[in-house]
Structure 1
Amino acid sequence: MKIVTWNINGIRTFKGGIKKALESLDADIICLQETKVTRDLLNEKTAIIEGYNSFFSFSRGRSGYSGVATFCRDSATPVAAEEGLTGLLTSHDGAVGCYGDQNDFEDEELQSLDNEGRAVITQHKVRCEDREETLTVVNVYCPRADPEKPERRIFKLRFCKLLQIRTEALLGAGSHVIVLGDINTSHKQIDHCDPDEIDNFEENPGRKWLNSFLVGESEEEEEEKDDKEDEDEEYRLESQMAGRKFVDMFRYFHPTREGAFTCWSTLTGARQTNYGTRIDYIFADQALAKTQFLETDIMPEVEGSDHCPVWAHLSCALLPSPRCPPLCTRYMPEFAGRQQKLSRFLVKVDQQTPSDSKDPLPGSQESREICENIKPIEGTPSCAKRKAGAPELHGTKGKKSKMSNSSLNPQGSLLAFFKPRSNPADPLCSAASEKNEDSAPTLVTVDKPQPITDRPASIQGVGSTSGREAASRVRGSGQKEDSNSGEAGAQASHGFWRTVLRGPPQPPVCKAHEEPCVLRTVKKAGPNLGRQFFVCARPQGHASNPEARCNFFAWVDKGK
C-alpha cells in the first residue's frame, strides 16, 4: 500500500480539479490538510470523486480556514471513520473509538480543540504476511504556535497532548497507528534551513513535545538505552512502554539527509533557494515501522502549494470494507439526494406569458435600448416599433427627444451620454445634422465659435457654404488667440497633477548584486504598519548562498 500526506493550502485552488491531483499522487490513502473549505462551500465535484471515498473535517468558527480531508480508494475503504480527536463530533455507529483519559480537559476546551477541523481518523483492515490486523490512520493539521499570541501556543500544546492521548489509546487497543500531516514544528536542527537564527531552538515547546512523542534515532541514544537496560530492570519496563512511541519514518530511512524540507515561504520565493523547513511528517508505531515500511520520501518537485507531499510504501495489503462508514461525504444529505439544494430554486422555468402583459415592466431594458447598444440609430428596421397611440416624436434626427425618454423609457441608455449634444442655435450643428441625416452620427465634438457682436448675415444661413467658411475662420482666429494661454494652462495642470499623484518611488540598486530592488509594505501591526521599504529582489536564502537575497534594506521616505 501507498500513503501520502500533503498540505494543499486550499482544496479549491487546483487548476485541473481535485480528481487530477489525486490521480497524480497515485496512492491508496491520501491525507490533505488546510483544505480551507467549510461544509456550506463544499461542492459535489470536490466531495464525490469517482473511485474514492472522502472524509472531511470542517472549521466551525471561521470560513476559509484550516480543515482536513482523507481520500481512500475503493480498494482501501475503511471500516470506521471519525472526525476530530475528542469523540464529541461523532454521532453515528461508524466511529473509531478509543479516546483515552481526557479527565485533564474541560468539556469546553475539548469542544474548542475540535472546532477548527484539524483531524480525521480512518480505521482499516490490513493483511500483514499471513494475518489480518487493524491499522488506524490519523490525519492531523496541528495548530501554529504564534509567538505573538500566547494563547495559541497553549492551544497547540493542548492539541498535541490530546493527540498523544488518543494515539496511545488506539495502540493500547491493539491497533497499529500512523499519524501523518502538517505538525507545524521542525523537529531537529537538520530539519530547519537556518536554526541559528532561532533563539533557544531546543527549548521550543513543540520540539519538546516531539521529543516525548518520537523515539530517538541517534546512535548515542541507542547505546545509552542499551547500557541502561543492562543495569536497571525498571528502565527495561519503561522501555517496553516506550514501544508505543512513534518513529519519524523519513528520518528512519534518511537519518543524515540535509536540505530535506517540505515547506517554503511563497512571499519571499524561498523555494527557489530551498530555504525552508520540514514540518510535514509520517509517524508510525515502532512495530509497524520495523516490519511493514519499505520506503518514505518527500516530493519537492510537486508544486501547487507552499508545502510538498510526503509519501510512504508499506508491504501490508489493504482489505476494503464492504460498507463505507457513515462519515463519508457521499452520505451527506446535500449529496445523497435527501436535501433540496438552493440551486434547484434558481432554475429558470418557462411559463406562458398572458397576451395582455407583453409590454416590459417600467424601468427594465426595452428592445429599443438593446437595439441602440448594437447600432445607435433610431428609426432603422432593427429597432423596436413605437407603441400604438404614442405621440409622434419630434427633434433632430438621429437623437432621442426628451419626450421619448420620459414617456417610453424613464431610464436612458448609457450610450446617450457619449453622443454629441445638439444646439439649434448653432448653424454648424444644424448643417452637420442635415448632411448626415441618412447616416449614423459619429462621435465628433464640434467646437462652438466664440461669440461676436456684429455677426454677418451670411454666417446665419443654415445651408450656406460661405457661412460655414466664415464660421470656420472666426473659430480659427479664436483658437489662435487662446493658443498661448491654453499651453500655459496645460503645463500648469500637468505640474499640479505631478505633485498630487506621485508614482511609486524609483527603486534603488542593491549593493551585493547591483540589481533593482523591490518595494514592500509592512503589514504587521505596530508603529511601522503601512510603511514602505526596499529589499533585494532575489529569493530568500541562507546568508552563505551568493544567489540568495542580500541584506539590503532601505525605508521609503514619506516626503518623496
Structure 2
Amino acid sequence: MKLISWNVNGLRAVVKKNFYDDIKNIDADIISLQETKLQEGQIEIDLPDYYQYWNYAEKKGYSGVAVFTKIEPLSVKKGMGVEEFDMEGRLLTLEYDTFYLVNCYTPNAQAELKRIDFRLAWEKQFREYLANLNEDKPVILCGDLNVAYQNIDLKNWKSNRNNPGFSDQEREAFSRLLDSGFIDTYRYFYPDKEGAYSWWSYRFNARKNNAGWRIDYFCVAKALAEKLTDATILSDVYGSDHCPVELLIDVR
C-alpha cells in the first residue's frame, strides 16, 4: 500500500498548479492533506477513484485536513473529542480492518513560542488519544507535525535552537511520542541521511539552496515495523512550501 502526506498550504492555490498531475503520477492508495485552508463547499476535488473526507476549522481560511482514499474506511472521526483542539480542524482518523490512519496538522508554537503552552497541551492529549487507538489496532500517523526532531532534520540547526519547531519542549514531546511506541519511518530506513527536508521557507531561495526542515512525517506503531517497505520524501513535487512524504507498507 502506498500512502502520501502533504501540507498543501492552501488547497485552492495548489489545485491551480500541478496538483492533479502530481496526484495521478504518485498514484497513492491514501492521500492525506494538511492546511487545506478552506470551508465546506469552497472547492470540489475531481478524484473519482477516491472517497473524500474533510475536517474544517471554524476559523475561515485556516488549518484544515482532508483524506482521499481508494479504500473505503470502516469509520471516520473528526478531532479527538476536546473542543479547544477540535475547533481548529487538525485531525482526521480513519479506521480500516487492520489499522487506524491518523492525519494530523500539529499546532505551530508561533514566533517567540507564544503558543507553546497550547502546543504542549495538544501534544499530551494527542499522545493519550493515539495510545487509546493503539490498544485496539496499530496506528499509522501522518502529517505536518511541526517539529524537526534531530539536528540533521534541519539545515541551520544551531541558529534555530529554541525557535518554533526546534524548541527543546517540542523535541521532547516528539521523543515522548516515539517512546510511547512509534517509529519515525524515514529515520527507520535512513537514520543518518542529511539534507532530507520536507519544508522550505519561501524566503532567501531556501528551496533552491535546500535550506529546509523535515517536519512532515509518517510514524507507525512498532507492531507494524515488519510491514514497512520504504519511506520517501518527494522533494521534486512542487506547488506548496512543503513537499509530499510517502510511505510504502504491507497492510490492508
Instruction: Report what 1:22 is aligned to.
Output: 23
Q: Which of 20, 40, 65 matches 1:68?
A: 65
Name the structure 1 match of 2:247: 312
Stretches of structure 2 that go unaligned for 5 or more consecutive residues are none
Matched, 1:3 2:27: no
| Equivalent of 1:182 in 144, 152, 160 | 144
Deviation (angstroms), 1:123: 0.8
Residue equivalent to 1:36: 37
Pairwise CA RMSD of aligned residues? 1.7
Shift of 1:184: 0.6
Alpha-carbon distance in structure 2 between the residues aligned to 1:15 and 1:178: 30
Q: In the superposition, relative to structure 1, how do residues 213 and 301 fare at CA in structure 2: closer, same or farther (>3 Å)?
A: same
User: Shift in Å at residue 64 of structure 1?
Assistant: 1.0
The answer as to 2:121 corresponding to 1:123 is no
Answer 1 or 2: higher relative contact order, Cα 8 Å, separation at least 6.
Answer: 2
Higher fraction of strand: 2
Q: Structure 1: 5+ residue runs without aligned partners?
A: 87-109, 126-133, 216-241, 319-560
Number of residues of Structure 1 aligned to a counterpart in Structure 2? 249
Native 8 Å contact 2:22 2:237 kept in 1: no
The question of 1:54 aligning with 2:58 is answered no
- Choose from 74, 79, 83 the match for 1:84: 79
Contact persistence 2:19–2:239 (CA under 8 A)? no
What is the TM-score with the length of structure 2 in the denominator?
0.93
Structure of larger gyration radius = 1
Contact 2:198 2:213 in 1 (8 A): yes
Shift of 1:258: 0.3
> Where does 1:141-180 land on structure 2 (aligned, <5 Å)?
141-148=105-112, 150=114, 152-173=115-136, 175-180=137-142
**Counterparts of residues 228-239 of structure 1 (less than 5 Å):** none
Structure 2 counterparts to residues 371-410 of structure 1, below 5 A: none
Query: Is 2:159 aligned against 1:197?
Result: yes
Query: What is the TM-score normalised by the length of structure 1?
Result: 0.43
* Counterpart-to-counterpart distance in 1, 2:10 and 2:196: 23
Q: Deviations over 1:448-470 (max 9, x none)?
A: xxxxxxxxxxxxxxxxxxxxxxx
Q: Which residue number in structure 2 is paired with residue 539 of structure 1?
A: none
Q: Which amino acid aligns with 1:165?
A: E
Q: Contact (CA 8 Å) 2:153, 2:213: kept in 1 or not?
A: yes
Q: Report if the CA contact (8 A) 2:18-2:239 is conserved.
A: no
**Identity rate of aligned residues, in percent?**
34
The answer to whether the 8 A contact 2:231-2:247 is kept is: yes
- Alignment-derived partner of residue 224 in structure 2: 288
The residue type paired with residue 62 of structure 2 is: Y
Aligned to 2:52, the other structure's residue is in SS state: strand
Task: Give, in whole Å, the separation in 2 of the partners of 1:303 and 1:28.
Answer: 20
Structure showing the higher helix proportion among its residues: 1
Conservation of the 8 A alpha-carbon contact between 1:147 and 1:153? no
SS of aligned partner of 2:208: helix
Alignment of 1:396-545 (within 5 A): none
Q: Offset at 1:168?
A: 0.3
